[in-house]
Amino acid sequence: MREIKFRAWAKHWKLISEPLNLRNGLDFFHFKNSDAPHVLSVSNTNLNIMQYTGLKDKNGVEIFEGDIVMLFGKACQIKFDSGCFLAYIINDAGNRYFSIIGTETEVIGNIFENPELLEDS
């Protein structure tokens, strides 16, 4: 059974939280920066919540929804669509393709902290 956990992007402070395991209760996200509150409620509307895919990249890094990964030499965003997590690949013509996350996937950032990674791809 895959581990169910989440992390959050605090829009106002531009910070990613520590992952929160559903087993321990889904009440508060914890942040490690002194400029922001150390704890924010899950119900806070200034949070974008991302779910863990249950998979790790080739370096053992957990892959979350909203992550940007390198796959087939392209930067792709991980999204939840049609009941599963997929990597969205956009080719030179602007067409979107979808790929199941593979074992050669590598997390290189996320859509909130590194949106420019998708522009360069």
Interior CA angle at 13 toward 120 and 30, to 5°? 105
Phi and psi torsions of 19, nearest 5°:
-60, 145
Q: What is the mean pLDDT of residues 84-105?
A: 71
Q: Which two tokens stand for residue 60?
A: 């053992």
Considering the domain delimited by 5-120, tell me its CATH architecture.
Roll (2.30)
Angular region, 49: left φ>0, alpha ψ -120 to 50, beta rest: beta
Please give the Cα distance from 51 to 101 (Å, whole number). 15
Taking only the tens place, the pLDDT of each residue in 26-55 is: 667 777 765 655 677 766 777 888 999 988
The overall pTM is greater than 0.85: no
Alpha helices in the chain (DSSP H): 116-120
